[in-house]
Amino acid sequence: MADEILLRTENLRREFGALVAVDDVSITVKARTLHSIIGPNGAGKTTFFNLLSGNLAPTSGKVFFKDQDITNLPLHRTTHLGMGRSFQITNIFPNLTVLENVRLAAQAMGRSNFRFWRPYTAFGDYLERAHEVMAQVGLEPVALLPARTLPHGDQRKLELAMILAPDPELLLLDEPTAGMASEQVPELMALIQRIQEEGQKTVMLVEHNMNVVMGYSDVITVMHQGAVLAEGTPGDIARNEAVQIAYLGGLYELAL
- Spatial separation of the C-alpha atoms in residues 195 and 202, rounded to whole Å: 9
- Spatial separation of the C-alpha atoms in residues 32 and 95, rounded to whole Å: 35
β-sheet bridge partners, residue 230: 222
Nearer to Mg ion by Cβ, of 75 and 178: the residue is: 178
Nearer to Mg ion by Cβ, of 21 and 158: the residue is: 21
- The one among 36, 46, 107, 217 contacting Mg ion by CB under 5 A: 46
Nearest distance from C-beta of residue 152 to ligand ADP, angstroms: 21
Q: Which does 36 bind (CB under 5 to 8 A by kind): ligand ADP, Mg ion, none?
A: none
Nearest distance from C-beta of residue 175 to Mg ion, angstroms: 6
- Give the number of residues in contact with Mg ion, rule: CB under 5 A: 2
Nearer to ligand ADP by Cβ, of 122 and 251: the residue is: 251
Q: Which does 47 bind (CB under 5 to 8 A by kind): Mg ion, ligand ADP, none?
A: ligand ADP
Nearer to Mg ion by Cβ, of 37 and 188: the residue is: 37
Nearer to ligand ADP by Cβ, of 41 and 113: the residue is: 41
Q: Which residues bind ligand ADP (CB under 6 A)?
A: 16, 19, 21, 39, 41-47
Nearest distance from C-beta of residue 47 to ligand ADP, angstroms: 3
Residues at the contact surface with Mg ion, assessed by CB under 5 A: 45-46
